[in-house]
Structure 1
């Protein structure tokens, strides 16, 4: 009989990758089954945190996931250990066969002290060959990527911390994590990251997509939120991107605490 497995992590490591993959038709469920069975514990054994894995209900060709590292140097070593190790060697052809593009990667760091993910008490689903596809009533995560002018990063992050984050909490959807671009040199160039990007990315957790959509409507109708958006607009380089995500059975982010 399978039992949920507990993650040993608490507050997530300070270097985070937000990875968005574009997959071949029909490839997402194949990749999720493989990933959740073979690539969670085996990555964490090298020193990474596997934070979350997600389906995008609005784009059946997209798989999104997050992993964390203690530093850029430990990132280099952990990635070398995993991608040079036996598990990836055994399964890389199957995984790569599902993918059209795996280079859409943002390298991030917490926007301020305490802004990273706290994964204390999060439970993974069982390690098994297949996991059910979630429906629209499953837990959901909203990611918003704000594109900001690099010279405005500090002012944007300060305004977000002091004004936007408290208002979102009052509106019933506190932020689970707030990150800004990490501009460090890529210590594992075999895996590219998006260079020349400057973003602030936020993550919110919801009981389901209906609750997520109601929250987006409520913020759009809230005069205080519209005022904050107006104040933030001069700092932006282009419009923010939103996407809704449904966690897989083995994701930590998007799942309730045990």
Structure 2
């Protein structure tokens, strides 16, 4: 097992377990939802706890001898991001775990230790409230699908310990893959503050793409709008309206949005241009957008005369028939009530939307059909999109 000793002069020596391995943290790779239970005050016999949610994501570095993860939440309404760097020393077979966060400009001194089977213990000397203490991190991966991290302080050289922080890890809901059909689609067209589109695209990619997908939304792509420098366009899909509502309640009430939503909203002038759609007669966005293969997307909004939408649909289907299910899909407004009024949507019953995908502008000029629907005089608006690389 992992043990530590303190010399009379206060130096700490950690002895690794015989089973210590560079693969000890493989169970933690990927994304997590983290339920926290943290003592409000420490080393004063307190029994008052704060509880809050965070998210985390771990990836390997240094050819597997190290890893980095993040810890994203909010404290007192302010975004907070922490980072742990873990490095395995093959000479000593000890792990060193370094911590930093948004309140620090440096890495903390490491806690050092190893795993013995399913339990990992890591130690360091520190000071807290003017007291010399020993810090212990403990990992319990008995159930690797629900690991538990905990932290304890000792102010009597390890004779007694106060456990002051617990993190309970669970995987986020299984990511919806693009093998599943999108039956509800949001087309979200934002007007940005002047000159902010590029910065927002990067911010959105860094903080909202992976986290939304991890929580169950399908994001076919994020885009800039050709000819409109201050526009940002993205799509978000769901299997049905019930799963959409569940996602919106969870995501916009969760740690990621609380931590980063205010700054994101500060870059936007208007985010209410959102059409809520369903496929006609049935469509799969992953086929149309090619899982990112197509970088040039054209959206045509057709506004039929009152009561003429279905006839228009039939006419458009004939025009696009050779490309349906491959490059082109037809959509109509989803008329079920929007049960998340915090995010308003546009629901026009006579609207038909055509989404077409192309490899690039030259491909569009060559293969886009000249659309003339016989017997229909309709209003048509076209938006040309350039895909932003999703990280």
Q: Deviations over 1:85-131 (max 9, x none)?
A: 10111111210111000000100000102x23135995569xxxxxx
> Do the aligned residues in 1 keep the contact of 2:191 with 2:232 (CA within 8 Å)?
yes
Number of aligned pairs? Answer: 218
Alignment of 1:149-164 (within 5 A): 149-161=305-317, 163-164=318-319
Deviations 1:12-33 (A, max 9, x none): 4201101100001111111111
Aligned partner of 1:185 in structure 2 is: 337
Residue 68 of structure 1 corresponds to: 237
Q: Does 1:99 align with 2:243?
A: no
Q: Give the conservation status (yes or no) of the 8 Å contact 1:12–1:49.
A: no
Q: What secondary structure is seen at the aligned counterpart in 1 of 2:216?
A: coil
What residue ranges of structure 2 are gaps of 5+ in the alignment?
1-60, 62-174
Using a 3 Å threshold, how does the CA distance of structure 1 residues 120 and 65 change in structure 2: closer, same or farther?
closer
Aligned equivalent of 2:359, options 184, 207, 211: 207
Say if 2:329 and 2:355, in contact at 8 Å, map to a contact too: yes
Q: CA-atom RMSD, angstroms?
A: 2.8
> Structure with the greater relative contact order (CA < 8 A, sep ≥ 6): 1 or 2?
1
What is the CA deviation profile of residues 174-229 of structure 1, one whole-angstrom value per residue up to 9, with x for unaligned ones?
5332111111101110000114453111111112123323445xx44xxxx54xx2
Match of 2:387 among 231, 247, 256: 247
174, 178, 183: which is aligned to 1:9? 178
In the aligned structure 1, how far is the partner of 2:364 from the partner of 2:287? Answer: 21
Which protein is bigger by CA-based radius of gyration?
Answer: 2
TM-aligned CA deviation for residue 150 of structure 1 = 4.7
> 2:386 matched to 1:230?
no
* Partner of residue 80 from structure 1, selected from 249, 268, 288: 249
Q: How far did 1:61 drift?
A: 0.7
Q: Hey, what's the Cα distance between the residues in 1 that align with 2:356 and 2:186?
A: 17
**Is the CA contact (8 Å cut-off) linking 1:23 and 1:100 kept in structure 2?**
yes
Residue ranges of structure 1 left out of the alignment (5+ in a row): 126-137, 252-258
Q: Is the 8 A contact 2:226 2:383 kept in 1?
A: no
Over 3 Å counting, the alpha-carbon distance change for 1:50 and 1:98 in structure 2 is same
Normalising by structure 1, report the TM-score: 0.75
| Aligned residue number for residue 141 of structure 1 | 297
Greater strand share, structure number: 2
Q: Post-superposition, which runs of at least 4 consecutive aligned residues in structure 1 deviate over 4 A? A: 119-125
1:35, CA displacement in angstroms? Answer: 1.1
Q: If each structure's helix is expressed as a fraction of its own residues, which one has the higher value? A: 1
